[in-house]
């Protein structure tokens, strides 16, 4: 799941429900149906100083949603747990 606080800061205005959908891997424009999105590429943005995913809705016929979202996942406190 992507980090919701970074999504809120680094994306266009979305509702809380749409942010939740993006964080879980779904297109925010296709709600209430849940269509996933695909990651087209991942790159480092000098402007935002973080890695971003360029994503597009899988529902190619009915939706043209195309966005750049932070590639950072939520930290549940288990990062590098098994490497310590």
SS3 letters for 38-74?
EEEEEEEECCCCEEEEEEEECCCCCCCCEEEEECCEC
Residues 25-84 have pLDDT tens digits of: 999 999 898 899 999 999 998 988 888 999 999 998 999 999 998 887 655 555 555 655
Q: Say if pTM beats, i.e. exceeds, 0.85.
A: no
List the strands of the sheet with 50-57, edge to edge.
Answer: 37-45, 50-57, 66-70
| Vertex 8: Cα angle to 59 and 54 (nearest 5) | 40
Please give the helix or strand (H or E) that residue 17 lies within, else none: helix 16-23
Tokens representing 30?
């296709």
């Amino acid at each position: 799941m992507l980090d919701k606080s970074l999504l809120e800061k680094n994306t266009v205005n979305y509702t809380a429900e749409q942010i939740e959908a993006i964080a879980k891997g779904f297109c925010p424009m296709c709600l209430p149906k849940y269509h996933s999105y695909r990651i087209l590429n991942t790159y480092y943005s000098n402007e935002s100083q973080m890695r971003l995913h360029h994503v597009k809705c899988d529902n190619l016929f009915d939706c043209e949603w195309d966005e750049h979202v932070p590639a950072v996942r939520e930290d549940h406190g288990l990062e590098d747990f098994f490497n310590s």
